[in-house]
Amino acid sequence: MPDIAKTERRIVGFLCNWCSYGGADTAGVARANQPTDLRIIRVPCSGRVNPLFVVRALLHGADGVLVSGCHPRDCHYSTGNFYARRRLELLKHFLPILGIDPARFAYTWVSASEGQRWQHVVTRFTEEIHALEPAPHFEELEPLYLSQRQSTEPKRPFMPQPPDLLAKLKEEIRTHLPELDCVLGWQKGRDALHAVPFFLRQEEDLERLSLDATCHNSLVRYLPEYKGKKVGIIVRGCESRALVELLQEGLIAREDLHIFAIPCHGLLDVARLEEELGRYQHLENLVIEQDSLRITVDGKERSFSPQAFLRSTCLGCASDEPVLADTCLGSFTAGESTPVTAPELALLDGLNLTERLRFWRGVMDRCIRCYSCRNSCPMCVCHDHCIAESRQPHWQSAEHSVTEKFFFQIIHALHLAGRCTGCGECQTNCPVGIPIFALRAHLNRVIAELFSGYQAGRDAQAVPPLLSYMVDEANIQEREWQ
Ligand code: FES
């Protein structure tokens, strides 16, 4: 942004064409005194304001952003502002985890005849922005490096898969394979520590099927590509929720699926184990037991505690019961589903706003924009049309800047708001270990607070909260502008 007079701040206003823009005009015609800091962008409706517009402005130097539309029930398109209210309220709760002061953002309603109200709102908001420090320049902040692990006890102790589970699973798949085009499972990858997705098509493939605590890739991610085909899939409790979410969004059809549900007592964080092992040439043996994890690399056996290497997303898991299943194998644990705070999020919760922004400044520098987080996410379904790579509209540049990398993660997180089932695949597959799951975990927490405990993937008939609205929102307190 260009330099402006020192007495002014950079404030961006998104005003709906039919009401608030008219209100600002009415104030102007009436010669009402107003601060000159606001730069107005006229939009057809407040429902047109993507929360990403606001974040992008704030990340690129705006000191404040104001969104204003028609009063509820007065929207020219009848419901645009009801949807906007949910999104913008969510955004207000999201900004602090990024390290951005939520006081830099406000939304309100002003009608075309309310010139006086417009004058009041814009004056109050500008005064508040002046009372804050000028917005920090993200790129110029000193990075804050912190250890990302915290010791959190798992809700359920780790246990390896029962020895007969794989044999039972193979038997079931053998029975159903003739009526299916393909069954999605896992096989060993380059060594015993690295499992990879496996697409079984014939009985001989069953020999290669693998099943242990290293099989972490969410197979649900591949389902939309098989739309219209009969597919079998092996899922654990958390993965069945992603499956429900895809059903909710109409991306797969229930009648085309055969779901083999298996119990789960925790998955291993392979990336952290690799880090601990350091460089090695050959991994010769891997033994997973309840209390010990023995790995032989280059002729040397190393022993670890599996509890200490559980994936952070498994720590708060209280139940492995699948939401949907056609064939259930083994016994499942039912449990109360109150989520625990993921360690990455607990770390951020303990920081102030400036420290959070400095933390993101430090970790985002490592991002190589490989898009593994997006490509492994079962809910990222836009594939070739991802706005991160789109040139029309051109949402973000391919420039190697920490702001653009951070913005990409914000795009991903906000696109998952109300849809993320918390599988943590994004973070597990990040080759440089950025704790991006914290952004999703925080949004899930806010969604539950704002929308009566809503959790994605629990009910295939439920309408996702950002695709619906209530005329009188129970948990949204709109600002009064006294
Ligand atoms: Fe003004 Fe929809 S037209 S908010």
Tell me the per-residue pLDDT of 390-441, one tens digit each, with 9 for 90 and over.
888 888 888 889 999 999 999 999 999 999 998 889 998 999 989 999 999 9
Mutate to test the pocket of ligand 1, among 41, 79, 81 (most ligand atoms within 8 A of CB): 81
Comparing 113-117, 144-148, 468-472, the range with the smallest average pLDDT is: 144-148
82 Cα: distance to centroid of ligand 1 (angstroms): 9
Q: Please state the rounded mean pLDDT for residues 167-178.
A: 97
Question: pLDDT grade, residue 20 (50/70/90)?
Answer: very high
Per-residue pLDDT, 10:
96
25 alpha carbon – ligand 1 mean position (Å): 16
pLDDT of residue 45: 98
Report the separation in Å between the CA atom of 263 and the middle of ligand 1, taken as the mean of its atom positions. 49
**Distance, CA 109 to ligand 1 centroid (Å)?**
9
CATH code of the region 11-135: 3.40.50
pLDDT range class, residue 472, cuts 50, 70, 90: very high
Q: Which of 28-32, 93-97, 429-433 has the lowest mean pLDDT?
A: 429-433
CA–CA separation, 152 vs 141, rounded Å?
Answer: 30
Q: Read off the pLDDT of each residue in 167-175 and give the average, rounded to a whole number.
A: 97
Q: Using the mean position of ligand 1's atoms as its centre, give its distance from the Cα of residue 45 in Å.
A: 4
Quick one: pLDDT band at residue 26, thresholds 50, 70, 90?
very high
**Closest ligand 1 atom, residue 109 Cα:** 4
* Closest atom, ligand 1, to C-alpha of 48: 2
pLDDT at 148: 61
Q: Which atom of ligand 1 is nearest to the CA of 75?
A: 2
- Residues 199 and 242: their CA atoms lie apart, in Å, by 19
70, 71, 82, 108: residue to mutate for ligand 1 pocket, most atoms within 8 A of CB: 70
Tens digits of residue pLDDT in 339-382: 667 888 989 999 999 999 999 999 999 999 999 999 999 999 88
Range name among 24-28, 153-157, 192-196, 471-475 with the lowest pLDDT average: 153-157
- Percent of the chain topping pLDDT 90: 78
Ligand 1 probe mutation, 45, 108, 469, most atoms within 8 A of CB: 45
Q: Is the peptide bond before 178 cis (omega within 30 degrees of 0)?
A: no
67 vs 249, more confident: 67
Span from the CA of 23 to the centroid of ligand 1 (angstroms): 12
pLDDT recorded at residue 4:
53
pLDDT at position 317, please?
A: 82
CA-CA distance, 242 to 348, in Å (whole number)? 26
pLDDT score for 326? 97
38-47, 200-209, 422-431: which range is least confident on average? 422-431
Ligand 1 mean position, distance from CA 115 (Å): 17
CA 277 to chain centroid, in Å, comes to: 30
Residues with CB under 6 A from ligand 1: 16, 18-19, 45-47, 69-70, 75-77, 80-81
Residues of the chain with CATH 3.40.50: 11-135
For 214-227, the pLDDT digits (tens) are 998 999 999 999 98
Q: What number of H helices and E strands is found in the chain?
A: 14, 12
Residues in the chain: 482
Average of per-residue pLDDT across 438-446: 95
Ligand 1 atom index nearest CA of 19: 1
Residue 131 CA to ligand 1 center (angstroms) comes to 30
Cα of 476 to ligand 1 centre, how many Å? 19
> If pLDDT is split at 50, 70 and 90, which confidence band does 328 have?
very high
- pLDDT the model gives residue 468: 95
Phi, psi of 105, rounded to the nearest 5 degrees? -130, 135
> What pLDDT shows up at residue 390?
81
Tell me, yes or no, if the pTM score tops 0.75.
Answer: yes
Q: Which ligand 1 atom sits closest to the C-alpha of 84?
A: 4
Question: Which has more confidence, 385 or 429?
Answer: 429
Mean pLDDT, the chain, integer: 92
Ligand 1 center from residue 50 Cα (angstroms): 14
Q: Count the Cβ atoms, other than its own, within 10 Å of residue 254.
A: 12
Quote the CA–CA distance of 224 and 150 in Å, as a whole number.
36
Residue 154: pLDDT band (50, 70, 90) is: confident
- Determine the residue of 21, 48, 76, 478 to mutate for testing ligand 1's pocket, defined as the one with the most ligand atoms within 8 A of the Cβ atom: 76
- Give residue 292's pLDDT: 93
Q: What is the pLDDT of residue 147?
A: 73
Which neighbouring-strand residues pair with 231? 182, 257
Q: Which of 14, 19, 49, 111 to mutate to test the pocket of ligand 1 (most atoms within 8 A of CB)?
A: 19
- In sequence order, what DSSP letters do the residues of 240-306 get, joined into one string? HHHHHHHHHTTSS-GGGEEEEE---S--B-HHHHHHHH-S-S-EEEEEE-SS-EEEEETTEEEEE-G
- DSSP-assigned letters across all residues of 82-144: HHHHHHHHHHHHHHHHHT--GGGEEEEE--TT-HHHHHHHHHHHHHHHHHSPPPP-GGGSPP-
Which pair of tokens denotes residue 397? 């540049």
Taking only the tens place, the pLDDT of each residue in 228-243 is 999 999 999 989 999 9
pLDDT value at position 382?
84
Q: For residue 88, with 0-12 CB atoms within 10 Å meaning exposed, 13-18 middle and 19 or more buried, which class applies?
A: buried
For 476, counting Cβ atoms within 10 Å of its Cβ (0-12 exposed, 13-18 middle, 19+ buried), the class is middle
